[in-house]
Amino acid sequence: MTTAAAQPGSLEGHGILVTGGGSGIGQGTAQRLVADGATVMICGRTEEKLVAAVDAITGELGADAGARVSHRVCDVTDEAMVAETVAAATALTGTLDGLFACAGGSTGLGPVTSLAYDAWQSTVAVNLHGTFLSIKHGGGVMAEQGSGAIVAMSSIAGTTSHRWFGAYGPAKAGIDMLVKMAADELGASGVRVNCVQPGVVATEIMEAVTQGGEVIDDYLAKMPISRIGEVDDVAGVVRFLLGPESPWITGQSIAIDGGMNLRAGPDYSPFLKHMFSDEAMRGVVPKSE
């Protein structure tokens, strides 16, 4: 629980759960939280990645800080696993002071008229359903204790059209509204709920884009602050929203994208033009003979 003794820059005594913490922004944010004094549990579907993330955090911060980071396997689309993981994270300190619902991803790109339904379902499940379950169970613990902060992972793809992104943008848009609704409901119990909307960030999942080419050039051309984002750019904002420095901020969606949301989404056609015909890219579905 956040206490009056907590000082700006310190998360000492805070218990925090990070979903999707085995790599990328989740791992980097967990490291930032541990460095600032929090006790953090990371979770994800792949134990090997979680173990490697814990080892990396310990290696970076030292054994003393590493003693405050642990892991647990959890598929955020499985409600029983989410409930058990929230309980386990709460047990580490006796309270759940923060939750970063970072787990997400996409299983299919392409024209909406050609998108496989199972790709749509799985993408919505891990992003929107997983975030809902995390807020449902994490928010329930926080409401009972009378305090806490939640940050969800959205994207600029939820507010700016990203052609051929399939279910990812709609799922992230759903997260934005879920956050507003949850913030409105949970505020009476002293619980804050916000989300972040990153642009293109240098992570493993975005390596095919950030390593160079037409798509990243298009991203950069549409950014007032024209550079690829770093994990720390996002981790710093999440840390602020989870910490005692932001006690009167709730229901907000914060873009972390170099200002790209002011202009337009990226053109991903260079990645897809070899997979789909020109007609398919504009929505024409070939008729079966």
Cα–Cα distances (Å) from 157 to 122, 165, 166, 269, in that order, read 17, 8, 10, 16
Q: Which amino acid is at 14?
A: H
- Mark whether 172 is an active-site residue: yes
268 in Cβ contact with 151 (< 8 Å)? no
Round to whole Å and give the CA distance between 130 and 179.
13
Report residue 70 as tokens.
């642990």
Who's near 193: CB < 8 A, 6+ residues apart?
A: 135, 139, 149, 150, 151, 152, 179, 182, 183, 186, 250, 251
Q: Largest Cα–Cα distance of the chain, in whole Å?
A: 72
Name the H helices within 116-275: 117-124, 130-145, 168-186, 207-210, 214-221, 231-242, 269-272
Residue 24 in contact with residue 89, Cβ under 8 Å?
no
H/E stretch holding 29 = helix 24-35
- Catalytic-labelled residue, pool 49, 117, 172, 222: 172
| CB 196 within 8 Å of CB 151 | yes
Catalytic residue among 49, 117, 168, 180: 168
Q: Is 168 a catalytic residue?
A: yes
Q: Indicate which residues carry an active-site annotation.
A: 168, 172
